[in-house]
Amino acid sequence: MHWVNLGLLPGWNSSTASENDLNRLGVFTGAARTNVDEGPDAVHKADIATAEHLGRRVARTAEVFLREPVRRRRVKSPEPKTLETAAGGPGCPRPARPRRTAYR
């Protein structure tokens, strides 16, 4: 799951703001509206515009995931370690050492 927030600062929280600003309720987690006991016709126009803004953000985010396909590689699972190999005992292969080159 990928969460997409509004990406907006709170609206209608200063003397120069109006009730028609996007995110007028100052929500950061997603879309919200007031007066849940009223029907859909009573939804404030700024809340509808905020929901449309969120819908466009979700669509743009989904495009990013659809544009780049997920490629899964098959990874060979490592052989289980025994006490001998985990401790670096005789059955444990030693890592290859880099060759030293003489510079003159």
- Angstrom distance (rounded) from CA 69 to CA 66: 6
Tens of pLDDT, residue by residue over 27-47, are: 888 777 667 788 888 888 998
- Angstrom distance (rounded) from CA 24 to CA 18: 8
Tens of pLDDT, residue by residue over 82-95, are: 555 555 555 555 55
Determine the pLDDT at residue 99.
60
CA distances to 16, 63, 78, 84 from 54, in Å: 24, 14, 45, 57
- What residues have CB less than 8 Å from 61, skipping those under 6 apart? 2, 4
- Angstrom distance (rounded) from CA 18 to CA 91: 75
- Angstrom distance (rounded) from CA 70 to CA 91: 38
**Mean pLDDT, the chain, integer:** 76
